Chains A and B, each alone.
Chain A
């Protein structure tokens, strides 16, 4: 079964430092990949998505992610962390079988909680 692995359930960085959140997927066929962010007591908000166009994807709030097929990775980065980036981040995949079916299901990683130190 397709899965998504997020390395590190908690990541802590200083304000102004680089943010790197790791995501690896398992698939022989590149799926569609998404990053979502969840702030406390809220639903999930889309940051960016990869849909087999450009491998470097830019999203909202200064985040970007690079799809690397050889590494089956889709890591999320931001050059300079801001206090408002503190939240939980989820990597998600829409699998090839679901894409073929037209199903809108996503498989999520376990999430990474990002803490920003002043």
Chain B
């Protein structure tokens, strides 16, 4: 069973540019979440998508956006890049988030996309 696939793995951008990161979840997983990981702030929740709808959003500016397609694949976009956006962006997928047992669902993470902003 293929895992969570994130592309690209590494990328370098300059301030002011925009970037799009892609995530293909495990087959059958309908929930996709995004996290930003930095040495200073640790792992911070960006947003979660389920059935093409954003279900939760973390405390990030509007420059950070995302979407989910009908096949559950997801993309996140960061516009007007700042130096502080340099981070490892992790995508995670999980099963359906509905129902009383969904709290026990495990997030399966991809290897991440490492973004460097110069």
Interface set of A (CB-CB < 8 Å, partner B): 32, 34, 36, 41-46, 49, 51, 90, 94, 98-99, 101-111
Contacts and interface: CB of A to CB of B under 8 A. Distances in A.
Given A46-B106, A51-B104, A108-B35, 14 more contacts: A32-B103, A34-B107, A42-B112, A43-B4, A44-B90, A44-B92, A45-B109, A98-B56, A103-B56, A104-B48, A104-B50, A105-B56, A106-B33, A109-B42
A71 B102 CA distance: 26
Contacts of A34: 106-107
Contacts of A107: 45
A46 B105 CA distance: 11
A110 B31 CA distance: 24
B108 A46 contact: yes
Kindly name the residue among A103, A105, A110 whose own CB sees the greatest number of chain B CB atoms within 10 A: A105
Interface residues of B, number: 30
Given A103-B55, A105-B33, A43 B109 contact: yes
Contacts of A41: 111
The 9 closest A-B pairs by CB, nearest first: A99-B103, A43-B109, A102-B97, A51-B104, A108-B43, A44-B109, A104-B31, A102-B98, A43-B111
A103 B54 CA distance: 11
Contacts, number: 70
12 contacts: A43-B90, A46-B106, A49-B106, A90-B43, A94-B103, A98-B56, A101-B56, A102-B97, A103-B56, A105-B33, A108-B35, A111-B42
Interface of B: 4, 6, 31, 33, 35, 42-43, 45, 48, 50, 55-56, 90, 92, 94, 96-99, 102-112
A102 B100 CA distance: 8
B42 A105 contact: no
Contacts of A45: 109
B33 to A, nearest CB: 6
B105 A104 contact: yes
A92 to B, nearest CB: 8
Contacts of A42: 111-112
Contact of B42 (A43, A46, A108): A108
